[in-house]
């Protein structure tokens, strides 16, 4: 069996591109209400970044016929890591497409886009345009005052396979939710030195469960909920505000006009030491999802956004685990039995 070539050196979850069916409605939600800064706009797209982000964008909204995830993107450490990514994913037997700078997403240089082993459209890039420092432009802050993209949460039926694949990409594991026999129900995995860049929710996939956006303080999470209540848009609030067990973050979940889920998230913790140990929650611990024991609304476990393939065609979803032969225990989302 040929040796798998070395994986790319992933620095962090960097941006997501969402297809939205009504760009004006999306602008109201993501810019006016959440406070993203518009770095660039065209007639069909918005390129957005948070107050702390020094690069071109962390979210692209483009007009599309259906609401879907176009792709998620990880930044890698060097230009050579883009080559490594292409070699690595081809060796895994994945579809990989090189996208020279200027031919892909505005603001991004040379990149490779793949359909990863879990069926997700993922881009790896190094070069991204730098942008004006807005960190102390308090005069420009608005709405939820989003600081930066923090993580992707993905729905996949085979959590052990997702864990193994991301471990192979060099991700650490900060926390898990496990059954009494240590069946893996959910995992939070990282390259940057916080709780996660990616996390897995059990369920039919590939689907995007949510984008996690960081604010600096819990009052911004509370203000987000107040803002939506104030304009009688409270139906966009899906879950919370509350305190997570896993990650210890303070959170609220919203659904955008197309149903894309977003989490406003603050105050998790440092995970950067080489011997950082995984913290394991038992599935029967009612504090795991909400530290105060508040129930999780069913839609949070059930709903998620479809994903597109590299040609923009929606990918079929499955609830079948990748390797039936392995003794991987198929576990659904933890909370619906
Ligand atoms: O609900 S959980 O405590 O499992 C949780 C923890 C961190 C997250 O980012 C999240 O989306 C969900
Ligand atoms: Ca609600
Ligand atoms: Fe999250």
Q: Give the ligand whose atoms come closest to the C-alpha of residue 185.
A: 1
Nearest Cα residue to atom 1 of ligand 1? 289
CB of 51 sitting under 6 A from ligand 1: no
Q: What is the pLDDT of residue 336?
A: 65
Q: Quick check: 150 pLDDT over 80? A: yes
pLDDT (tens digit, 9 = 90+) per residue, 5-58? 999 999 999 999 999 999 999 999 999 999 999 999 999 999 999 999 999 999
* pLDDT averaged over every residue in the chain: 96
User: pTM of the full predicted structure?
Assistant: 0.97
Average pLDDT over residues 70-99: 98
Beta pairing class for 148-156 and 198-202: parallel
pLDDT at residue 292 in the model:
98
pLDDT of residue 307: 98
Determine contact, residues 35/144, Cβ cutoff 8 Å: yes
Q: What pLDDT, on the 0 to 100 scale, is given for residue 285?
A: 97
Complex confidence, ipTM = 0.95
Residue pLDDT, tens place only, 215-257: 999 999 999 999 999 999 999 999 999 999 999 999 999 999 9
Look at ligand 1, atom 6, and give the residue with the nearest C-alpha: 246
What gap in Å lies between CA 143 and CA 25, rounded to an integer? Answer: 16
**DSSP code per residue over 240-261:** EEEE-STT--EEEEEE-TT--E
**CA 279 – CA 288 distance, rounded (Å):** 11
Cα 5 to ligand 3 centre (Å): 31
């Amino acid at each position: 069996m040929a040796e798998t070539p070395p994986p790319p050196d992933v620095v962090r979850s960097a941006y997501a591109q969402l297809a939205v069916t009504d760009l004006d409605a999306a602008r109201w939600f993501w810019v006016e209400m959440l406070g993203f800064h518009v770095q660039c706009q065209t007639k069909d797209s918005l390129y957005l970044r948070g107050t702390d982000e020094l690069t071109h964008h962390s979210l692209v909204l483009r007009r599309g016929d259906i609401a879907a995830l176009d792709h998620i993107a990880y930044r890698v450490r060097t230009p050579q890591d883009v080559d490594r990514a292409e070699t690595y994913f081809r060796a895994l037997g994945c579809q990989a497409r090189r996208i020279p700078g200027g031919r892909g997403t505005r603001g991004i240089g040379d990149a490779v886009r793949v359909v990863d082993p879990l069926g997700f459209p993922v881009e790896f890039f190094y070069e991204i345009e730098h942008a004006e420092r807005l960190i102390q432009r308090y005069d420009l802050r608005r709405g939820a005052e989003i600081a930066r993209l923090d993580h992707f949460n993905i729905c996949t039926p085979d959590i052990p396979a997702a864990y193994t694949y991301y471990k192979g990409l060099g991700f650490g594991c900060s926390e898990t939710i496990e059954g009494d026999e240590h069946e893996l129900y959910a995992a939070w995995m990282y390259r940057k030195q916080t709780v996660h860049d990616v996390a897995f929710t059990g369920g039919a996939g590939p689907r995007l469960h949510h984008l996690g956006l960081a604010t600096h303080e819990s009052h911004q999470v509370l203000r987000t909920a107040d803002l939506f209540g104030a304009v009688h848009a409270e139906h966009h609030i899906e879950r919370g505000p509350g305190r997570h067990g896993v990650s210890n973050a303070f959170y609220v979940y919203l659904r955008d006009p197309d149903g894309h889920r977003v989490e406003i998230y603050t105050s998790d913790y440092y995970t950067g030491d080489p011997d950082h140990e995984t913290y394991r929650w038992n599935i029967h611990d009612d504090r795991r999802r909400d530290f105060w024991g508040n129930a999780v609304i069913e839609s949070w476990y059930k709903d998620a956004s479809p994903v597109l393939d590299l040609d923009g065609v929606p990918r079929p979803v499955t609830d079948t685990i990748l390797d039936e032969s392995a003794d991987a225990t198929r576990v659904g989302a933890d909370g619906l039995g």
